[in-house]
Amino acid sequence: MAKALAEERIPARMPTAAYEKVAEAAQAVGATLNQFLVQSALEKATAILERERVITLSTASAQTLFNLMDNPPEPNERLKSAMKRRKTLSCP
């Protein structure tokens, strides 16, 4: 039976100047090149995912949203029509 790997490899090629800069930065913080690359990539991935997943609203916008959630408007004709179409399409 094959044993599952606990780690994955990502081969990467970069220009020599970029490699030298990354290696110098890793050395400056006392990390191996691999540790530095993994930590940097993880920090960047976390920042991107947070930016994509979190909605930031001003106080006024948040208040408007909460007010609409607490007091939703009556459905208009377009919404009623869409709800009927959905019901006929999703029910057997």
34-81 pLDDT, tens per residue?
Answer: 999 999 999 999 999 999 999 999 999 999 999 999 999 999 999 999
Q: Are 72 and 64 in contact (CB under 8 A)?
A: no
CA distance 37 to 13: 13
6 to each of 1, 3, 9, 92, how far by Cα in Å? 16, 9, 10, 45
pLDDT at 4: 64
**pLDDT surpassing 60 at residue 1:** no
Domain ranges (residues) in the chain: 16-90
- pTM, 2 dp: 0.60
Query: pLDDT-derived band of residue 14, with 50, 70 and 90 as boundaries?
Result: very high
